[in-house]
Amino acid sequence: MHSDSAEERSKKLEKIRKELRKHLDDCEQMTGKSQYLITQETPVILTPSEEKALVRHVDASHGDRYIVDVTFVKLRRNKHRGAGTRIELSVIRRRKRRQYVRL
């Protein structure tokens, strides 16, 4: 039987969200800019191949409007350690057009 149950899929998404938050926190510490807001509710969409995830960032605010930035993130699994797989994230494409939305 396939072991891709809804429960396992949500666990995988949760792991990706966690890794993504950690990755962005590291970037913020390096650049001194905190421009991304990643929460539990941040939509993460896995592509069928599950090598990429589509992530929406809520960016800097302009009054009560926020910039929503859509980024494709590449997920690379690192299996040589044996103690589980680590998901490595790197931004591969950022959509140029930014939307202004009211939250």
Residue among 51, 50, 52, 20 nearest 36 (CA): 20
More confident call, 98 vs 21 = 21
Q: How far apart are CA 45 and CA 42, in angstroms?
A: 10
* Tens-digit pLDDT profile for residues 48-91: 555 555 555 545 455 554 444 555 555 555 555 544 444 444 44
pLDDT above 70 (res 5): yes
More confident call, 94 vs 8: 8
Phi-psi map region of 49: left, alpha, beta (phi>0 left; psi -120 to 50 alpha)? alpha
Residues 19-41 pLDDT 10s: 666 666 665 555 554 444 455 55
